[in-house]
Structure 1
Amino acid sequence: MNANDAEEIWREALRPMYELRRPREAALSAKIKTWDFGAMLLTNHVVEGEVQFHRTRKKIATSGLDQYLVHCLIAGELTSEFAQGQQKVPLNSIAIRDMAVENVGFAVDAPMLTLSVSRAALDRRLPEGARLHGASWEASDLIGAMVATHLQTLARLATGMSAEQTYLAADATLDLLAACLLPKAQPGVKQSDPRLSPMLRAQASSYIERHLLDADLGPAALCKVLKISRTALYGLFAESGGVAKRVRDRRLDEALRRLTAPRHARERIAEISYSVGFVSETTFNRSFKERFGCTPSEARGELLVKAAGKVEQMPEDLVEAHQRKIKRLSA
Structure 2
Amino acid sequence: MQNKPRSGTTSAAGPDPTDDSPHAARLQPSNGNPHGVTGPVLFEAYRAAIAPIYDVHLPDPAAQDFHATELRYHTRTASLARSSAAAQILTRTPRHVAGGTDEVMLYRQEAGTLEGEADGRAFRLEPGDLALFDYARPLVSRTTDFTNLVLTTSRASVPAGLLASELHGHVIPGGSGPGSLLTTVLTGLFEAAGALRLGEAEAAFAGVLGLAAGLIEAARLADADTAGASEQARHAAVLAYLDAHHARPDLDADAVAGHLGLSRATLYRLFKAEGGIQAALLRRRLDHVAGALIADPRARRDLAGLAARHGFGGLTQLGRSFKARYGMPPSQYAAFAARQDAAWHTAQIARLGLSRARVTDAPGGPADGSGMR
Amino acid at match of 1:79: E
Gap change, CA 1:81 and 1:184, over 3 Å in 2: farther
Partner SS state of residue 70, structure 2 = strand
Matched-pair contact (CA < 8 Å) for 2:128–2:175 = no
Partner SS state of residue 89, structure 2 = strand
Partner SS state of residue 117, structure 2 = strand
CA distance in structure 2 between the partners assigned to 1:159 and 1:197 by the alignment: 46
Matched-pair contact (CA < 8 Å) for 1:73–1:91 = yes
CA distance in structure 1 between the partners assigned to 2:145 and 2:38 by the alignment: 22
Stretch deviating more after TM superposition (186-195 or 26-35): 186-195
Matched-pair contact (CA < 8 Å) for 1:34–1:41 = yes
Give matches, 1:13-52, under 5 Å.
Answer: 13-22=49-58, 23-26=60-63, 27-48=65-86, 50-52=87-89
CA distance in structure 1 between the partners assigned to 2:286 and 2:44 by the alignment: 33
Partner SS state of residue 74, structure 1 = strand
Partner SS state of residue 157, structure 2 = helix
CA distance in structure 2 between the partners assigned to 1:30 and 1:38 by the alignment: 25
1:178 aligns with one of 208, 213, 222: 213
Corresponding residue pairs, total: 212
Partner of 2:274: none
TM-score (norm 1): 0.55
1:166 aligns with 2:201: yes
CA distance in structure 2 between the partners assigned to 1:84 and 1:184 by the alignment: 23
TM-superposed deviation, 1:24: 3.0
Gap change, CA 1:167 and 1:199, over 3 Å in 2: farther
Give matches, 1:286-297, under 5 Å.
Answer: none
Partner of 2:106: 70
Matched-pair contact (CA < 8 Å) for 2:128–2:173 = no
1:133 aligns with 2:168: yes
Amino acid at match of 2:85: V
TM-score (norm 2): 0.49
Gap change, CA 1:144 and 1:81, over 3 Å in 2: same
Partner SS state of residue 79, structure 1 = strand
Partner of 2:317: none
Partner of 1:143: 178
CA distance in structure 1 between the partners assigned to 2:119 and 2:209 by the alignment: 27
1:153 aligns with one of 185, 188, 197: 188
TM-superposed deviation, 1:130: 5.5
Amino acid at match of 1:145: S
RMSD: 3.5
**Greater Cα radius of gyration, structure 1 or 2:** 2
Amino acid at match of 2:123: Q
CA distance in structure 2 between the partners assigned to 1:86 and 1:32 by the alignment: 27
Gap change, CA 1:85 and 1:171, over 3 Å in 2: closer
Gap change, CA 1:138 and 1:245, over 3 Å in 2: closer
Matched-pair contact (CA < 8 Å) for 1:44–1:112 = yes
Gaps of 5+ in 2: 1-36, 221-231, 245-283, 292-334, 348-373
Partner of 1:55: 92
Gap change, CA 1:150 and 1:130, over 3 Å in 2: same
